[in-house]
Chain A
Amino acid sequence: KQEVTQIPAALSVPEGENLVLNCSFTDSAIYNLQWFRQDPGKGLTSLLLIQSSQREQTSGRLNASLDKSSGRSTLYIAASQPGDSATYLCVCPSGAGSYQLTFGKGTKLSVIP
């Protein structure tokens, strides 16, 4: 059974800092990994998707890496802004070939102006 762990659970940084969010997963037979953002009381916004054959993906100030062999992914946010404040969720398929998803508990990020 897939398990996804995110560290830290919460993070508070001053505006402008670069930061890294960590994710680990137990079943490395995944075909992709997604990072989502969730704002309070809102749905989920897909940020980045990394396919199993890729090592990283970039979108603007966001960079996500994937190391399947070690069961780890990181989300790097450059030059953080107060608008980045949200909960970031690491999400993996629940098993080989599955489109059902297993979610981490998230990292709650606060960027202080």
Chain B
Amino acid sequence: SAVISQKPSRDICQRGTSLTIQCQVDSQVTMMFWYRQQPGQSLTLIATANQGSEATYESGFVIDKFPISRPNLTFSTLTVSNMSPEDSSIYLCSVATGVSNQPQHFGDGTRLSIL
């Protein structure tokens, strides 16, 4: 199964700043996704990271706020821009092989707190 490294594991940031989260996979994967988990809530999909093209965002999420890069099949970044306290969440990346009998795997997440 894929091993996912996510960095940083946690951070405390000032209002108005931006933070880039990295997701590195130990093997090439077809699909990479970014999720957000707000305090006390379950996970919500932010976007699908597409290799070599613009990410596909879910309703309620926009590229200016959450720019995503995916330069190759093993790496992606999510930037949380112009942060406010409402952005305090856990951000997780996940990967899928595109084979239905294989589970999706998740990174350990980035716990982000905005002061």
- Please report A residues at the B interface, Cβ cutoff 8 Å: 31-32, 34, 36, 41-44, 46, 49, 51-52, 89, 94, 99-101, 103-106
Contact = CB atoms under 8 A, between A and B. Distances in A.
Contacts of A36: 106
Given A42-B109, A89-B42, A101-B45, 4 more contacts: A31-B100, A43-B108, A99-B96, A103-B42
27 contacts: A36-B106, A42-B109, A43-B92, A43-B106, A43-B108, A43-B109, A44-B106, A46-B103, A46-B106, A49-B101, A49-B103, A51-B100, A52-B100, A89-B43, A94-B45, A99-B31, A99-B96, A99-B98, A99-B104, A100-B33, A100-B45, A101-B45, A101-B104, A103-B43, A103-B44, A105-B41, A106-B42
Nearest to B45: A100
Contact of A44 (B92, B96, B100, B101): B92
Contacts of B44: 103
A46 B102 CA distance: 10
B109 A51 contact: no
Nearest to A99: B96
By size class, the interface of chain B is 20 to 34
Contacts of B103: 34, 46, 49
Interface in B21-54: 31, 33, 41-45, 48
A34 B103 CA distance: 7
A92 B105 CA distance: 14
Contacts of A52: 100
Instruction: Sort A-B residue pairs by CB-CB distance and give the 5 closest, nearest first.
Output: A43-B108, A44-B106, A31-B100, A46-B103, A103-B42
A41 B42 contact: no
